[in-house]
Amino acid sequence: MAKRVFEVWKGSNKFILGGRLIFGPDARSLIVTLLLIIVPVIIFCVFVVRHLRHEFSPDNAGYAILVVAIIFTIYVLALLFLTSARDPGIIPRNSHPPEEEFRYDPSVSIEVGGRQTPSLQFPRTKEVMVNGIPVRVKYCDTCMLYRPPRCSHCSICNNCVERFDHHCPWVGQCIGLRNYRYFFMFVSSSTLLCIYVFSISALYIKVLMDDYQSTVWKAMKESPASVILMAYSFISLWFVGGLTGFHLYLIGTNQTTYENFRYRADSRINVYNLGCFDNFLEVFCTKVKPSRNNFRAFFEEEVQQRPTLPSTQETDVEDSVGDPRSKVEDDLDIGEDILKISQRRNVEEIDEDICSRGSNAPPHNTSEVDSALSSDHRAPTIRSDARHSSWGRRSGSWEIAPEILANSTVTESRAYTTPKELNQ
């Protein structure tokens, strides 16, 4: 049975409702956040707002306080859901490294099967232009891609996220390009909710003081819930309020939390800063980009995958510059080279060369004759190397490299009979 993308997802995310909702691996912390919001609001409505229903004229005006508290709480919870249950901007990972970036470096060679083979290299970083200024982007070994500008790999979710801001444990999700707006609205709305609860609780204390003609201490004893709510709201206000102020600064300067903490001491130019007004427009007035992932789509496994490193029997190199060439094309070129050699040397030159060397001829010379004249043997696959030129087409040298000749298994007696067969 075919599997869907979310079922074979390599990240650490958790999916529910058949891949329709995506959370981070620490989604359980979301329950704590919900309790920290819902429980104080319930206490607020039961022990404070209920007693204020008829304290204002007309008699039913106090219900507005209750309605505002409930609606505002639902609004905050909706923003929390939009922040934590959607794709933050995950970039789909590749199944293999980018092939267009591969380069064969002849200066760095590895020994494979007794042969010196050019090493497969590709740059770890490259530069892209952002607003006319070059920006260096890095290669991600896990996702096997070059991260776009402002993208970073989250070690908790194990994904590369566009415009990565941070991973927030309170919402159990990464904060990135597609949910940063909702995250800021959630934090700022939580700040306003704290102010609202604190203000109405203080108002209720004031009402109790007026009703009982008592001091503030006696009023606080009459409603300990109001005191607890005021203390809780005040402490929470330091966290969510401070976070709201910090992100207002980041939005105004077009920075992310990750960039601010990492590059704070570098004093580098912020190439993304469009000006305070345009920066706010970019965050709040631009359309949210669609997700790059379709988690409910059926997973299609690739039939063939290009190997990361070159095989000694499948991949050839055209010349010392380092451009790869297919094996079939390379074998055809080698066959043409052998034909040219046979045309340059006539039979007498070959026979004279063999006789002059005699029995003390090195083994690779007999292999040379057999490689040039034997029609029933396949030409060996050649690998270009900066230090060992096999056929030397550009240098004009037609000497065969010793390591290639050493692979020939033709006996010396057969090499001596080859000229006779040629004469026939």
Residues marked as catalytic: 168
Nearest to 243 by CA among 188, 170, 179: 188
Measured CA to CA, the distance from residue 411 to residue 415 in angstroms comes to 7
SS3 state of residue 146: strand
Q: Could you tell me if 11 and 22 are in contact, meaning their C-beta atoms sit under 8 angstroms apart?
A: no
How open is the CA angle 199-203-209, to the nearest 5 degrees? 150
Q: Give residue 243's region: left, alpha or beta (phi > 0; psi -120 to 50).
A: alpha
SS3 state of residue 173: strand
Residue with tokens 């190397």: 385
Residue 159 pairs in a beta bridge with: 154
The alpha carbon of 323 is separated from its chain's Cα centroid by a whole number of angstroms, namely: 28
How open is the CA angle 277-128-294, to the nearest 5 degrees? 80
Nearest to 77 by CA among 115, 33, 46: 33
- Element at 246 (helix H, strand E): helix 224-253
Measured CA to CA, the distance from residue 77 to residue 276 in angstroms comes to 29
Q: Could you tell me if 197 and 233 are in contact, meaning their C-beta atoms sit under 8 angstroms apart?
A: yes
